[in-house]
Amino acid sequence: MSTNTSRPGYGVKTGWRAESIWSEMLAEFFGCFVLLAFGAGCVAVAVVGLTESGRTSVIFQGAGGWMLIVWGWAFAVIMAIYVAGGVTGAHINPAVTLAFALKGDFPWRKVLPYWLAQVAGCFAGAAIVFLDYFKAIDAWNLSHQVLSRADPGGMTTFSIFATFPAAYYGNEMGLALLDQVIATFFLVLFVFAIIDNMNVGPRANLAPFLVGLAVAAIGASFGTGTGYAINPARDFGPRFFCWLAGWGSNALPGPHGYWWVPILGPLIGASLAVFAYDWFISRTLCARAKLLRERQPHVEQHGLGFKLEKLQSALEEVRKEMEADRKAAGESS
């Protein structure tokens, strides 16, 4: 009797799921699907769900609607990372994938496949939100005399799925681009700080939660200029879906030809964050760790790095030893 050795045991990964990039692409697709399902879903609640269900009469009354979106997107990010994180680390963002590649922590040959999976996942997430809310969208358009999704008034319901520039930018898309560069710079900076075990480092598997808080902070502080896409896939996938679903020029090319801004801006901002984190933080952490390994190789560690309290204490001892060595050398000379 033959034995089937191709069937994996519990907890053992074999075959294409362990060796092929397709399994990673599936995880990125599904993580982005969750991201958009709950991210665009919370916007749908704020824009058409509450009003057309009779639960409120005015959208975005005060700041409540905006904060619903800020926290809804934060939770969407958290859940998406928990879903896909065990397979790929949950990039769920082409800008993050690019940043890891520039940093040298991710192979360049996987960048384009990840990007494709991320865009497809966001497209699918937008589709599921549309499937659940299309009646509310149509009801909102009818009650506001919007005859077609492609009409200028259709921009309101388009905003459920993708972003557009604030009116105060006018046609100055360079300023909108700067807004995306700044917001994504902070996103990737925070991601690097959170996952860097040589830095403070979260415990109890809280990294996804903290990344979600980072997104909430960006939405609260830098969100109104362009809707803080900070993710090319999160914007282009749903934008393309909306173009197919009848939003026309509201989706592509968008107001003032805006469609390229949430693609290029996040890629630039993420690239800048790689070099900023390396120069201001990472090099210092690495230099301190190297010094400690040379002088005190048994300092208590947390994860891959050093526990902060022990690190500071050990560094102080090393500084005292070095100062004593210098004094002794001066006296002997």
CA distance 19 to 13: 9
pLDDT at 313: 63
Mean pLDDT, the chain, whole residue set: 89
Percent of the chain predicted with pLDDT > 90: 74
pLDDT of residue 62: 65
Backbone dihedral angles phi then psi of residue 6, each to the nearest 5 degrees: -80, -15
Cα distance between the two ends of the chain: 83
Q: Per-residue pLDDT tens for 238-268?
A: 999 999 999 999 999 999 999 999 999 999 9
- Identify the residue whose tokens are 């496949």: 113
pLDDT over 90 (residue 14):
no
Phi, psi of 170 (to 5 degrees): 60, -130
Close Cβ partners of 203 (under 8 Å, ≥ 6 residues apart): 302
Report the topology of domain 17-280.
Glycerol uptake facilitator protein (1.20.1080)
The pLDDT tens digits of the residues spanning 273-283 come to 999 999 999 99
Lowest mean pLDDT among 14-18, 118-122, 135-139: 14-18
Mean pLDDT (whole number) for 112-136: 98
Per-residue pLDDT, averaged over 165-193, amounts to 98
**8 A C-beta contact, residue 150 and residue 250:** yes
Integer CA distances (angstroms), 82 to 14, 87, 192, 199, 248, in order:
22, 10, 17, 22, 35
For 43-96, write each residue's pLDDT tens digit. Answer: 999 999 999 998 877 776 667 889 999 999 999 999 999 999 999 999 999 999
- If you average pLDDT over residues 8-28, what whole number do you get? 76
User: In this predicted structure, what is the pLDDT of residue 4?
Assistant: 45
Domain ranges of the chain: 17-280, 296-332
Residue-level pLDDT at 134: 98
pLDDT at 3: 43
304 has a pLDDT exceeding 50: no
pLDDT at position 6, please? 46
Residue position matching structure tokens 């898309």: 173
Give residue 20's pLDDT: 84
